[in-house]
């Protein structure tokens, strides 16, 4: 995780850096979880003495350097949660009802 501070607005931004497996990646004593680039399925490995491995999720043979060390966030769900979108839809619905009623009031005032 990288922390950046914007000097003008004085805001702090934290961002995950997506790292792929490279020649310096080590598994360690407890192993390391790597994520498939195709299906984002976690795979546990205990050494990197291989050039390609079959993913457990999609059963495709994938090269070592294509796996990532963090799960990928796809653009469709990046930074969004289902609760937040439901709240947004409710707020839009309320605003539409208010605008509709204001339109009806204006029409009735014009007719009078």
What is the per-residue pLDDT across 32-75, written as a single tens digit (0 to 9) for each? 999 988 888 888 999 999 999 898 888 889 999 989 887 665 55
* Residues 67 and 84 placed together within one structural domain of the fold: no
1 belongs to a structural domain: no
* 60 and 87 fall within a common domain: no
Q: Which residues contact 52 (CB under 8 A, 6 or more apart)?
A: 61, 62, 63, 64
How confident is the model at residue 74, as a pLDDT? 53
Residue 104 has pLDDT above 70, yes or no: yes
**Containing structural domain, residue 94:** 80-112
């Amino acid at each position: 995780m990288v922390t950046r501070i914007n000097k003008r607005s004085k805001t702090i931004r934290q961002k995950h850096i997506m790292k792929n497996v490279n020649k310096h990646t080590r598994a360690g004593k407890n192993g390391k979880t790597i994520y498939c680039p195709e299906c984002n399925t976690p795979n546990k490995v205990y050494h990197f003495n291989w050039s390609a491995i079959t993913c457990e999720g999609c059963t495709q043979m994938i090269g070592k350097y294509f796996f990532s060390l963090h799960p990928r966030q796809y653009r469709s769900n990046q930074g969004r949660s289902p609760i937040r979108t439901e709240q947004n839809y409710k707020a839009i619905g309320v605003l539409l009802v208010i605008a509709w009623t204001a339109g009806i009031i204006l029409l009735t005032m014009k007719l009078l």
